[in-house]
């Protein structure tokens, strides 16, 4: 997957563009995610690509718990705070690619029944997908920069 890093970085730029076009101006600042972050995802096998006709068209990271960012939640509680979970980060695709969230969820259904994810308050596209796939809002978490994110969990 090392060979896919240049293509993944193009997907990240496209994903940032989708966010900007939809009014989500602050979730991914210029240069996020970095190539080093993608390499850190890929090294242990957490980074996942989706391809169409041999071309990388989407990316996400699926990371097993615990995630220290999720250790404190404000204004709510996790649906389950005992069982192991997976966290999804850095979902992105080219704008012309559809069904990425559905494909990701179908894959995740085969490996876990406990998923956590967070998103920016302005990321209406992600919030729509989370509601559609049965995620429940649990509260606010704070990422490393101190910025708040809306936190969700799905148990099956």
Domain extent at residue 8: 2-155
Q: What is the pLDDT of residue 31?
A: 82
Predicted local confidence at residue 28, as pLDDT: 82
pLDDT digits (tens, 9 = 90+) for 93-130: 999 999 999 999 999 999 999 999 999 999 999 999 99
pLDDT for residue 1 is more than 80: no
Distance, CA of 22 to CA of 15 (rounded, Å)? 11
Q: For residue 80, give the CATH number of its domain.
A: 3.40.630.30
Residue burial 33-47, b: 16+ Cβ < 10 Å; e: rest: beeeebeebbeeebb
User: pTM here?
Assistant: 0.91
Instruction: Tell me how far apart the alpha carbons of residues 52 and 60 are, in angstroms, rounded to a whole number.
Output: 15
Supply 73's token pair. 């939640």
Max CA separation in the chain (angstroms): 45
Beta-ladder partners of 56: 51
How many independent structural domains does the chain possess? Answer: 1
């Amino acid at each position: 997957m090392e060979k896919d890093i240049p293509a993944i970085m193009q997907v990240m730029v496209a994903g940032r563009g989708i966010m900007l076009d939809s009014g989500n101006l602050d979730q991914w600042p210029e240069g996020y995610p970095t190539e080093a972050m993608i390499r850190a995802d890929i090294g242990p096998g957490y980074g996942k690509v989706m391809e169409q006709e041999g071309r990388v068209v989407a990316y996400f990271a699926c990371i097993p718990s615990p995630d220290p960012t999720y250790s404190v939640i404000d204004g709510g509680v996790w649906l389950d705070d005992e069982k192991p979970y997976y966290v999804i980060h850095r979902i992105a695709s080219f704008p012309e690619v559809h069904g990425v969230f559905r494909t990701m969820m179908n894959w995740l259904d085969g490996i876990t029944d406990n998923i956590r994810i967070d998103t920016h308050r302005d990321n209406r596209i992600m919030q729509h997908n989370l509601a559609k796939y049965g995620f429940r809002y649990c509260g606010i978490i704070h990422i490393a920069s101190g910025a708040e994110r809306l936190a969700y969990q799905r148990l099956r």
